[in-house]
A and B are shown apart, each in its own frame.
Chain A
Amino acid sequence: MMNFLTYLINGISLGSIYAIIALGYTMVYGIAKMLNFAHGDVIMIGGYLIYIFASSLGLNPVLSIVIAMAGCTCLGIVTEKIAYKPLRNATSNLAVLITAIGVSYFLQNFALLVFGANPKAFTSVVSWEGISLAGDELKIQGVTIVTIVVSLIILLVLQLFINKTRSGQAMLAVSEDKGAATLMGIDVNKTISLTFAIGSGLAAIAGALLCSAYPTITPYTGAMPGIKAFVAAVLGGIGSIPGAMIGGLLLGVVEILSKRYISTQLADAIVFGILIIILLVKPTGLLGKNIQEKV
């Protein structure tokens, strides 16, 4: 029983990381209607920034995360301006998808040139050892607890931001109907930039937690978690913020439990299998809105 609980908690922790990444995916998708394939690589860049400031320069971890968030936010805004914005009104929305793939290649190869292919050991940003319960039977690591708490705080803050502030309301309006939002005097470009900024800032936090839980960093660190988080976002209903959270948690728990109780090699197949089953039952994801087609 205690064993099962350990795995469950590990799964929730992994799921929380997926959830934070998925939040970035889902917000960008909700507003710009694009799949940002480079999102995972922004996480990687965030991880490297924290590595430089915290591990190499010895800065305070929290300060390093703040710097990395600023860096990733800039990166997000700049890539949006250069690579995505010119294609916003392109005839096919595949165009911007391919550009995002180009950006992803670019970030990976840029990191390869700058930081080299050698993996670097990442010093956890959480130095707390964690707690022991049930007479040492059940140990929960500090980073696990921090990850779960941080993801809950992010979820809460985002919900408040979207529902209670003008910019948040503007985001909602743009995601509902871009044309109408423009007519209502909302600056669509600014809103989209803001979304990218928030998504990329979150990516830096995700990078910090991901690299602390699995303490290594390479130019390819972000790719697979990025795809998994994308799956999580779709699972929860892409565009929905609570959906991303639920999708992420579900994915993390399923992944860890199937690794433990079924097969480490088939865990990915099982994760993707569950995605397929859920989408067949609920074609727009768990919390996705049902889109009525108009003639």
Chain B
Amino acid sequence: MLKKLSKTSRRDYITYGIVIAFYLIVQLFKVTGLLSSHMEGLLVPLTYYSLAAVSLNLTVGILGELSLGHAGFMCIGAFSASLFSVYTKGLLPGGLRFFIALLIGTILAAIFGFLIGIPVLRLKGDYLAIVTLAFGEIIKNILAAVYFGYDEAGLHISFKSFQLQGEGKMLINGAMGIQGTPTDSNFTIAVILLLLALVIIQHLIGSRDGRAIMSIRDNRIAAESVGINITKYKMLAFTISAAIAGSAGVLFSHNTSTLTATSTYFGYNVSIMILVYVVLGGIGNIRGSIIATTILYALPELLRGLNTYRMLIYSIVLIAIMLFNWAPKAIEWRKKNLSSIKGRFAK
């Protein structure tokens, strides 16, 4: 049946297949009790970083612009959704509450993606990259400094800490962030979201719009000269990318109960970490992003036994993989040697 499909849609179905197969294998392990708590705890983070990597790949690989501020969109998604969940905790049933929180986080991240995209996408190359980094840092910085709460006198928002009057609640407590987010994320929801994001992105790539976006990446001037509306398509890709990153943020904030806007979670180094996943998985290769995220996120965790050496080993592995994968000489060597291995197998 697969043969009848075009090459691209066959590729798409294989990607879905891998995700679903992984999900089923995990469920099987879970049922049979073989899944360790450690691994079980990694599943949701794996999935939201995969989501973030897929979304960044849309910007980097398909649109062809380097963004170093994706953690900022995650931050917006995480904070807006968490705010809603904490505010309505006890008022709405869990499932509905999470669904609305997810919508809010995703849409708000999309709006910010759109607003930030207007100025940013006018820039080019590394200048664009540094401005996205700047926006990401600004978002993090402001959310870490803001105090937001309600009491009998209504809602309060300030950059200075304040005392609430009477009945009320501090929702965002400055650098200490939001506490008490219900842990609504689970692996099943996360995988459904990932599949949804894959459907949207792969559909986009295969569509007329997607081809227009890729033509801008490949040759902007040529694309412009055949009448493609550059701004519109750039904005489209960037906004969708921000929205998906926002949904990853929602999963993030509903996975642990405390949420703070510190560099550890939403700084430029997180954006860079996601970029590492994207580049290692292959620029423009959506499936590769997921596989690379899975392996690279799990690697430092698997190296736990090595204690102090683990992050050092991680960095060496990272450099080695990059050289092996990308260096022209390594590619040549691989072609020569691997084809001889293949030849031997063929006999």
Contact = CB atoms under 8 A, between A and B. Distances in A.
Consider the complex of A and B and state whether they touch directly, i.e. have CB atoms less than 8 Å apart.
Answer: yes
B159 interface: yes
A275 to B, nearest CB: 5
Given A99-B322, A276-B119, A94 B60 contact: yes
Contacts of B314: 105
Nearest to A264: B145
A276 B119 CA distance: 9
Nearest to A293: B221
Given A113-B308, A276-B134, A269 B141 contact: yes
Given A98-B275, A227-B268, A91 B326 contact: yes
A113 B306 CA distance: 13
Contact of B283 (A94, A99, A276): A94
Interface string B202-228: 000000000000000000110000000
Contacts of A112: 308, 311
B141 A87 contact: no
Given A94-B66, A98-B280, A276 B135 contact: yes
B329 interface: yes
B124 A283 contact: yes
Contacts of B137: 268-269, 272
B34 interface: no
Interface in B112-160: 119, 122-124, 126-127, 129-131, 133-135, 137-138, 141-142, 144-145, 159
Given A230-B130, A279-B131, A102 B123 contact: no
Contact of A87 (B308, B311, B323): B323
Interface string A260-288: 00010110110011011001100111000
Contacts of B124: 283
A95 B322 contact: yes
Interface string A200-243: 00000000000000000000000000010011001000100000
A70 to B, nearest CB: 24
A274 to B, nearest CB: 9
Contacts of A113: 308-309, 312
A295 B221 contact: yes
A98 B319 CA distance: 8
B135 A35 contact: no
A98 B276 CA distance: 6
A105 B325 CA distance: 19
A109 interface: yes
A263 B311 contact: no
B279 A279 contact: no
B330 interface: yes
B328 interface: yes
Interface of A: 29, 35, 37, 83, 86-87, 89-92, 94-95, 97-99, 101-103, 105-106, 109-110, 112-113, 227, 230-231, 234, 238, 263, 265-266, 268-269, 272-273, 275-276, 279-280, 283-285, 293, 295
B328 A90 contact: yes
Contacts of B27: none
Contacts of A102: 315-316, 318-319, 322
Interface string B46-60: 000000000000001
Contacts, number: 132
Interface in B240-261: none
28 contacts: A37-B272, A86-B323, A86-B329, A91-B326, A92-B279, A92-B326, A95-B322, A98-B279, A101-B272, A102-B315, A102-B316, A102-B318, A105-B315, A106-B316, A227-B133, A234-B130, A265-B141, A266-B142, A272-B137, A272-B138, A272-B141, A276-B138, A279-B123, A279-B130, A280-B119, A283-B122, A283-B127, A293-B221
Contacts of A103: 315, 319
B138 A273 contact: yes
A35 B86 CA distance: 41
A100 to B, nearest CB: 9
B311 A105 contact: yes
Contact of B126 (A99, A110, A234, A273): A234
A265 B130 CA distance: 21
A207 B325 CA distance: 34
A266 B129 CA distance: 22
B327 interface: yes
